[in-house]
Amino acid sequence: QVQLLESGGGKVQAGGSLRLSCAAPDNIFGAYHMGWLRQVSGNEREFVAAITRVIGRTYYGDFVKGRFAISKDDAKNTVYLQMNDLKPEDTAVYYCAAGHTVSVDQGLSGIASWGQGTQVTVSS
């Protein structure tokens, strides 16, 4: 049963922006770190960004290079991913995830719950 509900994907031209949202139930949002991973068909899922449960420390994949920003609204149990300056290589299915651990080396790991995924397509 998918408990993380994503929205905000779509098609955009290179250089454009999108904001993804992920709503989670109380038992997940309050218990885990939240983040985003992405997957291109045939490849492994790649860490994009994460935000820690209590203090909201943020972590990003190396490829982000200041283009994306993760944030959360504790009152709404929602995590956001603002994506700017999108590139065709950002085209992927983006998954919201809740995990036990966040680190610089591994990003978000120990995934306890996944969203259904939302497609982001960036055209050149």
* Amino acid identity at 8: G
Instruction: Identify the segments of the chain with pLDDT beneath 50.
Output: none
List, for residues 49-83, the tens digit of each pLDDT value.
999 999 999 999 999 989 999 999 999 999 999 99
Query: pLDDT at position 57, please?
Result: 97
List, as one string, the DSSP characters of 26-95.
HHHHTTSEEEEEEE-TTS--EEEEEE-TTT--EEE-TTTTTSEEEEEETTTTEEEEEE-S--GGG-EEEE
